[in-house]
Structure formats: structure tokens, C-alpha cells
Structure 1
Amino acid sequence: MHLILTGATGLVGAGVLQNMLAMKEVSRISILSRRPVAMVEGHEDKAKVIIHKDFKSYEPALLEELKDAQGCVWALGVSQNAVNKTEYYEVTHEYPLAAAEAFSKLHPESPFTFVFVSGEGATQTPGMFTPLFGKVKGEAEQSLSDFHKKTPNFNPYIVRPAAVDWRKHPEIHPFIPHQAMYKGAVLTAFDTVYKSMVTPTRPLGRILTELAMSKGVPLEGNDILNEGRTVPNTAIKRMAGL
């Protein structure tokens, strides 16, 4: 099975990539990235890094290379504190929508599964105190759902991890961005008080990969939202057996 991955140098994306590389069922990985991905070294027979600078544009030659991909994990993202509001909207909303439009045309007669990594706090009904990330991610979720309704072969899943925890996933530690010491302290506190809000990268990466490998049919479960397409953190934990 051929899968597409974005955000491979980030925390969630690295967890996904490590799982994809380890899974025999995944025969080929196309990684769209602005820069080289160190984790791929030694795995070039299975994973290929395609340097891609403009995530709002997909040239015919690139689409030809991706034409037999059956799914994508869209883990590309940025902190709302790292860029201005315009840039955050572009990365969080415009990039995945442009990809959805392009990837849905790879093989229009058969399903394409698009797994969008959102986050707890995303909402389609923002209030006065909703943070920027919650509003923009919620808008991206809604746009992907709307695109699905008018594009029969495009099947999205919206996955909402909470506090992403890399601590027990040593395979990715050499490849992820430096994690500030306070983040580890916060996760340690959450382990005691808000354990339900901690999302470990290893099972998260597996779940995201397995969803991308599926045909994109609606999921079942009382904790699944949006007609079987939105997976909140409670469902992630259940699916992971945590």
C-alpha cells in the first residue's frame, strides 16, 4: 500500500513515520516535505522524500508520482504562537484543502482516505474566548467535511489528539524538534491529574496509519463524532487500548 505523509519532521508526523516504516502492509511512503527527513536514511527502498515548497500547488509531475497512493496522513502544522494569524490560517486551513482537491483527483473512480490531524479544542461553533487554533482548525475540519459531501471518492477522518506525549517512544527522539523541559513537566502532571488528556505518539501514529490504510468508511462508537468521521481524544485512547 502506498501512503502520503506530511509533517514528518514534527512530533506527530515522526510518530506516524516510525509506524509506517515498521508496518509490512505499507509498501511505499511518499513524504512531502520542505526539507530532508533524517528518519528515512536507511529506508530509501520504502520511503521517498519529495521536497515540496508550495503546499497550495501540486504540479502534474508530482501528481503522477502519487497517482497510486491510497491515503494520506496530513500531520503538517504549526503553532499559533510561531506565526501571524494570516500564516496560521494558510498552513492550517488552505494547505490541507489544496491537498484534498489535488489528491481526490489521483484516482477519482476509487476511494482516497485523508487523515487530518486536528486537535482537542477545535470547534465549528467558536465563542468569544475560543483560541485561534480552535477556530481555524474547526474551520478546516468543516471545509474538509463539506468537500467530502461534494466529492464522493474523498473520505476524510478528523483526528483530535490532546497533549501529545513523546516520552515513551525513543525511536523518534533523535528526529523530533527539541522539546522544552517544561513540556515534560506538564505531561508528568497530566499523568496524575488529566491522564485522559495525554496522547502517546506510538499508538497515535499507529491509529493514524491504519485509518489512512482503510477505505475511509464511517467509524462506529459512541465517542465518534460527525457521522463517523471525527475521532476525539477519548476515541483515540479507546482505539489504542489505553
Structure 2
Amino acid sequence: MHLILTGATGLVGTAVLHTMLTTPSISKISILSRKPVPQADGHPQAKVFITNDLNNYEKNVLEELRDAKGVVWALGISSTQVDKPEYEKITYDYPLAFARAISSATSPNPINFVYVSAEGATTTPGMLTPHWCGIKGKAESSLLELSKSQEYSNIRPISLRPCGVDPKEHTEIHDFVPEKQGFAKMVESALLPPLRMLWPRMMSPTRELGKVLTELAMGEGKAFPEKDEGVSGEGRTLNNVAQRRLAGL
């Protein structure tokens, strides 16, 4: 099976890549990245495509991706690191551009598109909603609407909203996880320890998170029952509670 991954040098992407590299049924991993991916070194099934333009894809690259079964879009950035327009470009424009490109490249075969969103994202933002919540929610709903169009109907979108992403017990990826800096480091140091103890259902251990994201990309791409806790968006948006249930936590 051939899967595509973005954001492979980030925390979530690092966890997903570890799962992909250690899953025997995954024979090919195509990584779209803006920089080298040391974690993929020495793994013949992994190929890194270095690109600085995530809004446009060359025909020869798409040709190599046309037999892919699924995508995990883990590329992202903290809203504290960039201004709103840049955040929207990375969080909304890039995944939508690639969804259109990979849909055309793989058509008429179905392709799963797993978008890594975040707990707190919303498709109905209000005046006081932080901009990142609305932008991620807009990406979720736009991917769903894209799949309803005739031109891109082979896309099978699933948006996953992890919370409290925690690599503590995932020792295999520690050498590859980027170190948090500044405000993000302060938030992680202040919030993760009490969350682990007092509110574990809001935690997303990276070993289990990487496995769930990979399995969603490998699966049938069907919607989940909206009656299930943590499922919304016509069965195609899963919050952290639903993610933990899939992980067996």
C-alpha cells in the first residue's frame, strides 16, 4: 500500500511516520516536505519530495503519487508563530490545494484524505472565536464540500481533532521530535502534566495517535456514525474522544 504524508518533521507527523515505517503492509511512503526528513533516512520504502510550493505540484511528482491509497495531512504551525494570513495559507490553502491535485491525479480511484485539525476547531465561529479555530474548521468543511463536487468526488475526507499531543511514552521518536520554543514550550510545560493526571480523555499520546491517523488513511474512507460520541461533520470529523476510542484508550 502507498500512503502520502506531509508535516513529517513536526510532532504529529513524526509519530505518523514512525507508524508507517513499522507497518509491513505499507510498501511505499511518499513524503512531501519543505526540508529533509532524517527519520526517513535508511528506509527504502520512504521517498521525500522536497518542495517549497505547496500550492502547486509538478506533473512528474503527481505521476509518482497516482497509485496512493491515502494521505495524512499533518503539516501545520502554531498560530503564535505566524500572522493570521500566513496561518490561513498553511492551515487552509495548502491542504485544499493538495486535495484538488491528488484527487485529479488518482481519479477515478478513491483516496482517503486525513486532515489533522485540533480540538477547539469549529465550523461555526463566533465573534470571540480565536482565528485558528475558525480557520481549521473552514478547512474541515471545505474538504467535505470538495468531496461532494463531481470533479473531486473520489476524495474521502476525515478530519481528526487531537488535543494534548503527548510524546512522553513514545521513546522511538524522541530523537526526531522538534523541540518546542518560547510560548509553545511554556504552554506544554504548564498544561501537559496536569492534563495527564486530571483529564486523560483530553490527551493524545503520539504512539496511539500515529496509529489511528495511519489506519484512517489505509481504511475504506467511510463516514462514522454521528450518533457516536465525538463524531460530527456528517460523520467525517472526529474529536479527541472519538480518536481515543479508535485507539482503544
What is the aligned counterpart of 1:225 among 206, 210, 232?
232
Task: Give distance in 2, aligned partners of 1:100 and 1:62.
Answer: 14
Alignment gaps of 5+ in structure 1: none
**1:22-52 deviation line (CA, Å, top 9, x unaligned):** 0011110000001100101121x11011101
User: 2:33 corresponds to which residue?
Assistant: 33
Task: Give distance in 1, aligned partners of 2:72 and 2:38.
Answer: 19
Task: Give distance in 2, aligned partners of 1:184 and 1:216.
Answer: 36
* SS class of match (2:115): strand
Tell me which amino acid in the other structure corresponds to 2:232: L
**1:180-217 deviation line (CA, Å, top 9, x unaligned):** 36524421111122211111111100000000011211
Task: Give distance in 1, aligned partners of 2:20 and 2:224.
Answer: 21
Task: Give distance in 2, aligned partners of 1:211 and 1:144.
Answer: 16
Tell me which amino acid in the other structure corresponds to 1:216: G
Report the count of equivalent residues. 241
User: 1:87 corresponds to which residue?
Assistant: 86
What's the C-alpha RMSD, in Å, of the aligned pairs? 1.2
Task: Give distance in 2, aligned partners of 1:185 and 1:140.
Answer: 29
Task: Give distance in 2, aligned partners of 1:240 and 1:230.
Answer: 16
Task: Give distance in 2, aligned partners of 1:182 and 1:51.
Answer: 31
Deviation at 1:128, TM superposition (A): 2.0
User: 1:215 corresponds to which residue?
Assistant: 220
Alignment gaps of 5+ in structure 2: none
Tell me which amino acid in the other structure corresponds to 1:197: M
Per the normalisation by structure 1, the TM-score is 0.96
Task: Give distance in 2, aligned partners of 1:77 and 1:107.
Answer: 24
Distance 1:47 1:227, change over 3 A: same
* Over 4 Å off, 4+ runs: none
Tell me which amino acid in the other structure corresponds to 1:222: D
The answer to whether the 8 Å contact 1:73/1:209 transfers is yes
**1:134-154 deviation line (CA, Å, top 9, x unaligned):** 010011111111101113211
User: 2:169 corresponds to which residue?
Assistant: 168
User: 2:130 corresponds to which residue?
Assistant: 131
